């Protein structure tokens, strides 16, 4: 698979580490998909479809109650500044007021803008359970530090070590062909199924919503989705 051509051809438009590490390290593995595995053909749809005919896969990373009436499918890139802004400024309140209350669940799918984001995403997928979301939070919170560094993979490796990945495991994850191919399959699926062409893009109960939004605006969209689902 020609990954460079895929990343370009998709037409993507980029529209305290220690403290963070302590949080997700303390969470530890809490179920979810294995650290890494074979991708090959797309994973079977083993979970019930979300509202709006949104198929979910057994290797999706999901935060929140499976019975939540609102499903937020997020497509983001680890090197996208607008994605980082969403995770810093909007997502914390979404977690508190929607996810933790059982009103919504978040399904995260990588949509890498470049090779750095692609490899960092592969490393993130090696973090098991809910530790994945803590690791992603750390990467988004510290995006300017690692993504703009001379050796971004060495910087990401420092965060990965806090997640419990030893150096050998981390380096293997960076180049895991099956995991990388699966990330790109889901990226292409997002483009084809939901017309995702920029990051972040959210599909909320089947309705695409492009771009980072202030919490008040995002909350209104979620309230509308919840009303329709009731």
- Position of tokens 């605006």? 217
Beta strands in 103-220 (DSSP E): 104-110, 201-204, 207-210
91, part of any domain? yes
Q: State how many domains the chain has.
A: 1
Ranges under pLDDT 50 in the chain? 1, 4-6, 8-42, 44, 46
What is the tens place of the pLDDT at every residue in 87-126? Answer: 999 999 999 999 999 999 999 999 999 999 999 999 999 9
34, part of any domain? no
32, part of any domain? no
Note if the pTM is more than 0.95. Answer: no
82, part of any domain? yes
CATH code assigned at 7 = 3.40.30.10
pLDDT, position 124: 97
Q: Which residues contact 106 (CB under 8 A, 6 or more apart)?
A: 62, 63, 64, 72, 74, 91, 94, 95, 99
pLDDT, position 34: 35
pLDDT, position 93: 98
pLDDT, position 30: 33
| Contact between 118 and 73 (Cβ < 8 Å) | no
pLDDT, position 37: 37
In 3D space, the residue among 140, 75, 149 whose CA is nearest the CA of residue 107 turns out to be 75
| Contact between 20 and 137 (Cβ < 8 Å) | yes
Domain that holds residue 159: 3-26+52-229
Q: What percent of the chain has pLDDT over 90?
A: 74
* Interatomic CA distance for residues 216 and 118, integer angstroms: 31
pLDDT, position 49: 72
193, part of any domain? yes
36, part of any domain? no
The CA–CA distances, whole Å, from 139 to 111, 133, 153 equal 15, 10, 12
pLDDT, position 45: 53
75, part of any domain? yes
147, part of any domain? yes
pLDDT, position 51: 78
């Amino acid at each position: 698979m020609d990954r460079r051509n895929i990343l370009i051809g998709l037409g993507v438009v980029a529209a305290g580490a220690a403290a963070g590490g302590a949080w997700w390290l303390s969470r530890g593995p809490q179920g979810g998909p294995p650290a890494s595995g074979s991708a090959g053909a797309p994973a079977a749809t083993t979970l019930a479809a979300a509202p709006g005919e949104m198929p979910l896969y057994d290797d999706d990373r999901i935060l929140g109650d499976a019975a939540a009436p609102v499903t937020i499918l997020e497509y983001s890139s680890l090197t996208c500044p607008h994605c980082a802004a969403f995770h810093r400024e909007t997502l914390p309140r979404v977690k508190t007021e929607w996810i933790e209350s059982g009103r919504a669940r978040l399904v995260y799918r990588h949509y890498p803008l470049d090779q750095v984001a692609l490899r960092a995403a592969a490393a993130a997928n090696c973090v098991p359970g809910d530790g994945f979301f803590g690791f992603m939070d750390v990467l988004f919170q510290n995006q300017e530090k690692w993504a703009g560094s001379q050796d971004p993979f060495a910087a990401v490796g420092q965060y990965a070590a806090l997640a419990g990945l030893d150096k050998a495991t981390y380096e293997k994850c960076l180049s895991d062909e099956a995991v990388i191919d699966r990330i790109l399959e889901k990226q292409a699926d997002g483009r084809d199924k939901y017309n995702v062409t920029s990051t972040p893009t959210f599909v909320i109960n089947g309705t695409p919503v492009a771009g980072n939004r202030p919490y008040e605006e995002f909350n209104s969209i979620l309230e509308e989705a919840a009303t329709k689902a009731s």
